[in-house]
Amino acid sequence: MLQFQIKLLSAWMAASDVVAERLAQARDDDRGEVNAHTAFIVLLVIAAIAAGGIIAGKITDNANSVPSP
């Protein structure tokens, strides 16, 4: 039984070492680059905000052009 527990503990420690090493590598590999997908989403958000502003402006102009009773 003790032998099994030692093997299990050794496997657990080896796995945790591998996970810690991979996490450290992932932190080191992050260079802060913007990928194309993120840039495309930003462009779509900017276009949506601009379209919303244009639509709001047209609605405001229409509302202002209605004569008052």
Sign of torsion, CA 41 47 49 52? negative
Domain boundaries, given as residue ranges, for the chain: 37-63
pTM of the model: 0.49
Sign of CA dihedral 9, 11, 17, 19: negative
pLDDT digits (tens, 9 = 90+) for 7-55: 888 988 999 899 988 888 877 666 667 788 888 999 999 999 999 999 9
Q: What is the mean pLDDT of residues 50-69?
A: 91
**What pLDDT score was predicted for residue 52?**
95
Tokens 């932190």 sit on residue: 27
Integer Cα distance of 11 and 5 in angstroms: 10
